[in-house]
Structures are given as structure tokens and as C-alpha cells.
């Protein structure tokens, strides 16, 4: 495991990593060119942009413990077959070992939150045991936004493929047969300290997670932002954002809501140190990592 854990009042949030990668500038965020990264270098190098101008991207679960609950936010790529070049990202089970080592053995998890239904967020929702597909977290309720589920239920195979929502038949559809899904509103309250809030654009029913405990607040972003450069340059949309205009508005709202507030912003794909604060700088609002 990565060892990254944050206290948020009485809550803890633990990062459990499945995979980390360095990707070329302008690849998965087309607007994040070398030039754009260079003008943000003071805020991004070396932790999220390396010496060669490559962008760090991490795939991890964020595991919350609060209110007597163990909550896993997003379940990474998982063990199921993937098309084409994505097959190389398939997990060999190491993630479950890391999850247990972090105190989140799969039987102990009470709630799984899917921020949206792209393949790298739902993969370990299910697994195969003795040839049978089963819920990986047998005692958990799986929370999925109703609007997100409706969108993908109506989507063509081509649209799913394009948006990397290509494992639903293995990772989401079977959950309904197991009776473990709660379709919820995008502002659903999970527990006294944890609530969802809508952050659409990357996908129509995308949600982020807010944790309020004692006098502290944290936000788990999901994919409304993939890389910290997008918090400096909100118009830099991800290549798979469903609606780049809406996703830009969502990022602008996220910056406005967190700027100079002390709210801990925990990035679902941010490389270590992964969490930080939005602060006013002479160059405008910027993400300042903690630690
Ligand atoms: Zn996504």
C-alpha cells in the first residue's frame, strides 16, 4: 500500500493504489499540452509532471472510515478482461491484498460508492470465485447515481466503448441480480458525515463525495478532474468527458467552492501526495499539495 492516509475530523481517508502511470502531455487531456504544463510548472513539478513533461496519473481507491462505516469510493480497473490496449491494465489481485492490508478486507466493507461507471472505477465491484461471478464486497451496499445508471442503460455499445464504459456487463449489471445496489440521487446522504454531490460533465450522473467531520471537510473528486493542471486551467477537459462545456463549469464551481477554505481536495487520479488545498496565488487559484 502507498501509506497515504488523511484525517478529516474523526474520519480517515486511506489511498489504496492499484496502478500508477506517466502519460504524455496532451494525451488523455488534449488541452494539457507541454506549453500549458510548462506555464504551470511551479505548481506541478515534480510531483504531477516529471522532468520530461509527462503527467502522473494514479488509479486508486479512496477508503473512508467514519460513523462506524467502512466506505470504498471507486473500485479501480479490476480483474475482468478488457479490450485492446486496456488489457494490460487488468489487475492480478494485488489490489485486494493492498486493500486488506489497509484495513479494508472485502468482507468488512459496508458501502461502495461508484462516482461514475467508467471501467477504472467499477472493476473490482465483482470478481470470479470458483467460476462464479460474485460481489467482491459481499456485505456492502453499492451506491450508484440513478441518472448515471439510466444514461449507460440507454447508451449504445459504441458509446460505451468510446467512453471506456466497457465492463458494465461484468461489473455493474450483475449487481442488480445480487440485490446489492441502491440507485440514489446525486445529492444522496450516505451517513451523518458523508454525502454525494453532483459534478456532471465527465459523465451525466457523475458524483463527488464530501466528508464533514468535527470542524474539517474533505472532497473526493472522482473524475470531474483527472489531473491538478485542470484546477488551474478548468477548460482543459479530459478526452473522454461526455460534455466538456459542462465539465468545465463543474471544475470552475469546484475551484470556487474550495478556494481558500481549508477544504482538503483528494484527487481520484492525482499522484502522491494526492491531496491538497486550493489557494489564491499571484497566478490565480492553484492546487497546493499537502505533505
Ligand atoms: Zn472516468
Q: What is the pLDDT of residue 193?
A: 98
* pLDDT greater than 50 at residue 1: no
Those residues whose beta carbon sits under 5 angstroms from the ion ligand 1 are 118, 223
- Reported as a single tens digit per residue, the pLDDT across 216-274 is 999 999 999 999 999 999 999 999 999 999 999 999 999 999 999 999 999 999 999 99
Distance 160 CA to ligand 1 centre (A): 12
Q: Write out the H or E segment, with its range, that includes residue 238.
A: none
Distance 167 CA to ligand 1 centre (A): 13
Q: What is the pLDDT of residue 3?
A: 74
Q: CA-CA distance, 210 to 199, in Å (whole number)?
A: 12
Q: What is the pLDDT of residue 188?
A: 98
For residue 173, give every residue at least 6 positions away whose Cβ sits within 8 Å of its Cβ, in sequence order, or none. Answer: none
Distance 73 CA to ligand 1 centre (A): 13
Break the chain into its structural domains and give their ranges.
Answer: 5-289
Longest dimension (CA), the chain: 58
Q: b/e for 251-268, b at 16 or more Cβ within 10 A?
A: beebbeebbeeebbbbbb
- Reported as a single tens digit per residue, the pLDDT across 119-175 is 999 999 999 999 999 999 999 999 999 999 999 999 999 999 888 999 999 999 999
Joined together, the cell numbers standing for residue 288 give 497546493
In terms of Cβ atoms closer than 10 Å to its own Cβ (0-12, 13-18, 19+), residue 179 is exposed
Distance 221 CA to ligand 1 centre (A): 11
Q: What is the pLDDT of residue 291?
A: 76
Q: What is the pLDDT of residue 151?
A: 97
Distance 130 CA to ligand 1 centre (A): 30
Q: CA-CA distance, 222 to 23, in Å (whole number)?
A: 19
- Reported as a single tens digit per residue, the pLDDT across 19-78 is 999 999 999 999 999 999 999 999 999 999 999 999 999 999 999 999 999 999 999 999
Distance 223 CA to ligand 1 centre (A): 5
* Contact (Cβ atoms closer than 8 angstroms) between residue 154 and residue 168: no
Q: Which CATH architecture has domain 5-289?
A: 4-Layer Sandwich (3.60)
- Reported as a single tens digit per residue, the pLDDT across 64-123 is 999 999 999 999 999 999 999 999 999 999 999 999 999 999 999 999 999 999 999 999
Amino acid at each position: 500500500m502507498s501509506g497515504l492516509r488523511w484525517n478529516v475530523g474523526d474520519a480517515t481517508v486511506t489511498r489504496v493504489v492499484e496502478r500508477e502511470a506517466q502519460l504524455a502531455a496532451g494525451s488523455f487531456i488534449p488541452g494539457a499540452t507541454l506549453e500549458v504544463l510548462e506555464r504551470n510548472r511551479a505548481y506541478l513539478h515534480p510531483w504531477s509532471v516529471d522532468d520530461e513533461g509527462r503527467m502522473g496519473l494514479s488509479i486508486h481507491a479512496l477508503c473512508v472510515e467514519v460513523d462506524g462505516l467502512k466506505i470504498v469510493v471507486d473500485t479501480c480497473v479490476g480483474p475482468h478482461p478488457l479490450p485492446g490496449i486496456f488489457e494490460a491494465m487488468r489487475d492480478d489481485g494485488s489490489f485486494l491484498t493492498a486493500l486488506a492490508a489497509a484495513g479494508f478486507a472485502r468482507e468488512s466493507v459496508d458501502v461502495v460508492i461508484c462516482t461514475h461507471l467508467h471501467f477504472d472505477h467499477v472493476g473490482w465491484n465483482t470478481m470470479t470465485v470458483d467460476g462464479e461471478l460474485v460481489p467482491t464486497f459481499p456485505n456492502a451496499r453499492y451506491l450508484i447515481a440513478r441518472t448515471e445508471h439510466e444514461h449507460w442503460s440507454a447508451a449504445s455499445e459504441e458509446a460505451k466503448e468510446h467512453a471506456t464504459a466497457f465492463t458494465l456487463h461484468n461489473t455493474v449489471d450483475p449487481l442488480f441480480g445480487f440485490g446489492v445496489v441502491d440507485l440514489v440521487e446525486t445529492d444522496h446522504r450516505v451517513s451523518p458525515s458523508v454525502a454525494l454531490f453532483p459534478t456532471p460533465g465527465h459523465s451525466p450522473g457523475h458524483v463527488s463525495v464530501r466528508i464533514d467531520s468535527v470542524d474539517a471537510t474533505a472532497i473526493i473528486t472522482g473524475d470531474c478532474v483527472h489531473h491538478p493542471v485542470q484546477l488551474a486551467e478548468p477548460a482543459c477537459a479530459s478526452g473522454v468527458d461526455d460534455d466538456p462545456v459542462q465539465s468545465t463549469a463543474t471544475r470552475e464551481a469546484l475551484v470556487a467552492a474550495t478556494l481558500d477554505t481549508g477544504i482538503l481536495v483528494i484527487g481520484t487520479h492525482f499522484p502522491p501526495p494526492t491531496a491538497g488545498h486550493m489557494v489564491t496565488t499571484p497566478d490565480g487559484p492553484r492546487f497546493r499539495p499537502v505533505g
